[in-house]
Structure 1
Amino acid sequence: MNRVDHIGIAVSSIEHVLPFYEQTLGLKLLKMEEVASQGVKVAFIDGGNIKLELLEPLHKESPVAKFIEKRGEGIHHVAFGVQDIEDRLAELKEKGVKMINESPKQGAGGAMVAFMHPKSSHGVLYELCNKSNTKEDLA
Structure 2
Amino acid sequence: MLTRIDHIGIACFDLDKTVEFYRATYGFEVFHTEVNEEQGVREAMLKINETSDGGASYLQLLESIREDSAVGKWLAKNGEGVHHIAFGTADVDADSADIRGKGVRVLYDEPRIGSMGSRITFLHPKDCHGVLTELVTSAAPGAHGDAHAATDQETHE
Give % identity: 37
d(CA) in 2 for partners of 1:82 and 1:27? 24
Amino acid in structure 1 at the alignment position of 2:73:
K
Structure 2 vs 1, CA of residues 5 and 133 (structure 1 numbering), >3 Å: closer, same or farther? farther
Matched, 1:9 2:10: yes
d(CA) in 1 for partners of 2:109 and 2:128? 16
Which of 116, 125, 140 lines up with 1:118 in the alignment?
Answer: 125
Amino acid in structure 2 at the alignment position of 1:64:
V
Structure 2 vs 1, CA of residues 36 and 133 (structure 1 numbering), >3 Å: closer, same or farther? farther
Question: What residue is the counterpart of 2:93 in the other structure?
Answer: 86
Post-superposition Cα deviations, 1:16-53, rounded to whole Å, max 9, x if no partner, equal 21211112221111111011121111101122363100
d(CA) in 1 for partners of 2:18 and 2:92? 32
d(CA) in 2 for partners of 1:137 and 1:96? 39
Aligned pairs, number = 138
| Superposed displacement of residue 130, structure 1 | 0.7
User: TM-score, structure 2 length as denominator?
Assistant: 0.81
User: TM-score, structure 1 length as denominator?
Assistant: 0.91
Gaps (5+ residues) in structure 2?
51-56, 149-157
